[in-house]
Every structure is written in C-alpha cells, then in structure tokens.
Amino acid sequence: MIPPSHAPSSVAAIAAAVRAREVTAAEVVEAHLERIAGANTRVNALTVIFPDRARAAAAAVDAAVAEGRDPGPLAGVPVSVKENIDLTWSATTSGWRGLVDAVPDRDATVVRRLREAGAVPVGRGNMPDFGMRWDTDNDVFGRTLNPWNPERSPGGSSGGDAVAVATGMSAIGLGNDFGGSLRLPAYAAGVVGLRPSQGRVPRAAVRDQAVALTLQQFSVNGPMARSVDDVALALDVLEGWDADDPVSLATPHVRPGDVVRRVGVVRDPGGGGVDPEVAAALDRAAASLADRGWEIVEVDAPMLEEAAVLWRRLSCTDTLISLHPEALGRPLGASATAFLRDSTAAARPFESAREYADAWGRRAVVAAAWRRLQIEVPLILGPVSTSRMRGVDYDLGGRREADRAWRDLWLTVVTNFLGLPALALPTGLGADGMPTGVQLIGPLFGEHVLFEAGRAVEDGVPALPPLPSAV
C-alpha cells in the first residue's frame, strides 16, 4: 500500500488505507520523504523539507486511528504548500529575498483546513518572486526543472508544487492562480490543476495592509493532484467562508443536473493558430466527452481579446505600484525585474484613474457576455496554452517574448479576469516527450460540473507513462 515512486496511490486510497490500518501515516510519509531525497535534488521543486515535523504530524494521525478517532478525509496524505501561503513551519518568502525571515504566526486558513483533515505538509513549493512569471525561478532558491525535460519550462508560478506532485514527492500541491499559475504548471508537468471560482476557497488573511484590487479579484488558492477525483477531494476540504478573507463566500454548488450536458470547443483562442499537438489534445478530449454523452459544439470565446488585454493592463498597473522597490524597500530578483520591465512595456499600464475605473466597468460587460453563453453552453473546452511548453526563461528577453507568452494564454487569463472555475488536465504524451493537456472552464460555482466532465476526459485519453527514470 505504500506508493511506489513511479505510480503513487491516489489521495483517497492513501487516506482510506491509513484509516483502515492497512498502512500507517508514518509509513506513507517516510515513503514520500525517501522519494523527495531522490528526486528533489534533480528538479528543485521543494524549497524547504520538513522531515521531523512531518513525522510528528504522521504520528499524531496514527495515534488518532489507534484511539478510534477519525483522523480526517486526508489522513496521512503528504502535501506541499507554495512559498506564498502561510505555514508556520517556515518563512512565507513568496520567492523573494526580502521575506526570508517572514515566518508567519499562524497557518493560512487553507493550510489549517488541510492539516485538520489529516494531511501532512512535507515541503514548500518553489515559485518566482511574488508569482510574477510564467516560469519558476528566483534568486533565493533557484530554478525548478521540468521532470519530463529539464530544458523545458515547468510553468509558473506554482511550478514547484506541480513538479512535486508529478514526481510523487507530494500527493496534493497547494498553490494559487492569478493568471494561470495553477493550470500552466499542471499542463507542463502532466497533473490536474483546479482554479476554483472566485470566493470558493479562502485566500490570505486580510490584516492591516492594503491588498491590490487585482489580487482580490483575479487570484485564488487551489489544489493540484494526479487525478480529477483527488482534486475534488481536496476542494471539499479547502472550500468555504472564512472570516479572515472578505472575498470568500459560502458559495452554492452548480451540479451536473442543473445544466445541459453541452461543451463548447474553442479551438483557436485569439485566431493566431495553435500547435498541432495542442489541436490533437483538444480532439482527444472532445471525443472522450462525446463518447460519454456530452454534446460537443464549436464556439468563440466572447470578447476574448478585450478581456485578455484588460486583465494584463490592470495587472501590470497594480503590480507596478505594489512591487515597486520604493514600496518593497528593496528590489525584486533579477528575473522578476526583467519580466516586470518587459511586460510593463508591452502592456501599457493605465495612467489615469478614469482609464483604470473604465477598465473595471468593462469587466461587467464581458462577464455578461460569458454568462449568456454559458446558459446554453455551460462548459468551455480549450487549450491551457496555444503552444507547447517552451524553453526555460521563455517569458524573458524583451517585449516580443513577453507578448508571445501572454498571447499563448488568452483563454487562460480570461477565467481569472471573470472569476470563473477552470480545470486543467493531461491528455497523454506528445511526440516531443512532454505531456499534452486541455482545460475545461465552467460557469461560476460549477466545479462539480467540471469534475464530471473532467472524469469523462480522463477515462477516454491515454494515461501518461512513468516519468523518465532519471527523475
């Protein structure tokens, strides 16, 4: 029952085995620590490892089982926690040197909920400075490597957690998604990543510091795992109203029976063309859904370019203010500085309050267009990226590179702009030896509809082979 390195057990299987005393939480955690010792030196996905604390937490789970108490739905499940989510076991650095001593005095609500459910943190997931890039590198911990091909980017900004899950170092990766930061690494590493609806899962606690409006509206915490069922189980634990986060809600659930079983395929977001492997992945996913009773139609994403442009300009406007060296007290790392410079030059931040306010006003217009579409076509199927994962630092180099990286992700960033839920999942291996994948975008609070459709895709596409033995 201890998960072998090449095919780790599911989250539900681990927890069930621990509760049934078929394996101890201590054995599960030890197996994952051994996996970390072998894999992390090669991929640098986890920045800090917690062997002693993880063993103590596992022992507490086993003690609960021995006493006949329910240790929780994630009993003994090893998890990783991104560097920008508070966990009292280490500093919440956000990948930046200025926060290397910032050890929080309490866990984030999402971390507390995982631990109360019996999950065991085993390490911290690497990220770029403040999640600023679509790659994972920083001056504090260095670069995370893609386990399928170290010359390809692992995506960002939750790249460390995606790679930790893909390599079997953790069973759940807890990250966040401001502009694809869960879904792009999931695509790159061949795992499942969920960007929940805005308000479904609590974000960071709001204390006495100002929080940028784009962070409040575009960013959400969410899980990555190796299957749709694992992500769904994690969401059950993470979701719910939180007093510390005024954006969080006691949200309703849109169930599969509440909507028509219709999926709209967006084959070429933005009209700039897609890589043939990306097109083939969409075909496989659409065929899997059709075989399992979903009606497939072709659609255009409403007002896609305007939404992507507004997301970018609003994001860059806020970032220039909140991450300016004068605001931080010291500069960002080298790669984040270059990314901010290039992206700002390409994005044209707003220069007046009127422009900024008008942009937020247009958001309601775009949201209304999407809502009308999703009454008739509740789910949207499309690429995470219109390109295959590019080489490391592909999002650096100048304005042209910044534009290209952003254009690949128009369909991805529009979900952040609108607060919609989206699920990224793999669809087999491409000819380049890298995972292929797609994303499903649901109506607001329609995560359970996404899960049903996601399982249909999983059932009909080729499973990924074991990772290369070098990992």
For residue 146 the two structure tokens come to 């893609």
- Tokens 């990783």 — which residue? 80
What is the tens place of the pLDDT at every residue in 169-226?
A: 999 999 999 999 999 999 999 999 999 999 999 998 888 777 899 999 999 999 999 9
Torsion region of 103: left, alpha or beta (phi above 0 gives left; psi -120 to 50 gives alpha):
beta
pTM: 0.97
pLDDT reported for residue 210:
74
**In the structure encoding, which two tokens stand for residue 249, read together?**
């809600």
Average pLDDT over residues 324-348: 90
Whole-Å CA distances, 434 to 15, 131, 162, 163, 424: 30, 24, 14, 13, 15
Judge whether 181 counts as a catalytic residue.
yes
Domain 12-460 classified CATH 3.90.1300.10?
yes
Given strand 172-177, what is the order of strands in its sheet?
A: 46-49, 120-125, 78-82, 172-177, 220-225, 192-195, 422-429, 435-441, 379-382, 262-265, 295-298
Copy the structure tokens of residue 108. Answer: 């984030």
Q: Does 376 score more than 80 pLDDT?
A: yes
pLDDT of 470 reads 54
* Per-residue model confidence (pLDDT) at position 3: 44
Which of the residues 5, 90, 153, 181 is marked catalytic? 181
Ranges of beta strands (E only) in 200-265 are 220-225, 262-265
Catalytic choice (9, 80, 82, 153): 82
Q: Write the pLDDT tens digit of every residue in 7-34.
A: 458 999 999 999 999 999 999 999 999 9
Per the CB < 8 A criterion, the answer to whether 153 and 391 are in contact is: yes
- Between CA 318 and CA 356 the distance in angstroms is 10
Please pick, among 90, 157, 219, 248, the residue that the annotation labels catalytic: 157
Residue 5 among the catalytic residues = no
Specify the pLDDT at position 425: 98
Helix axes of 334-347 and 304-322: crossing angle, nearest 10 degrees: 130
User: How far is it, in rounded angstroms, from Cα 198 to Cα 176?
Assistant: 12
Assess whether 82 carries a catalytic annotation.
Answer: yes
Average pLDDT, the chain: 95
CB contact at 8 A, 157 and 405: no
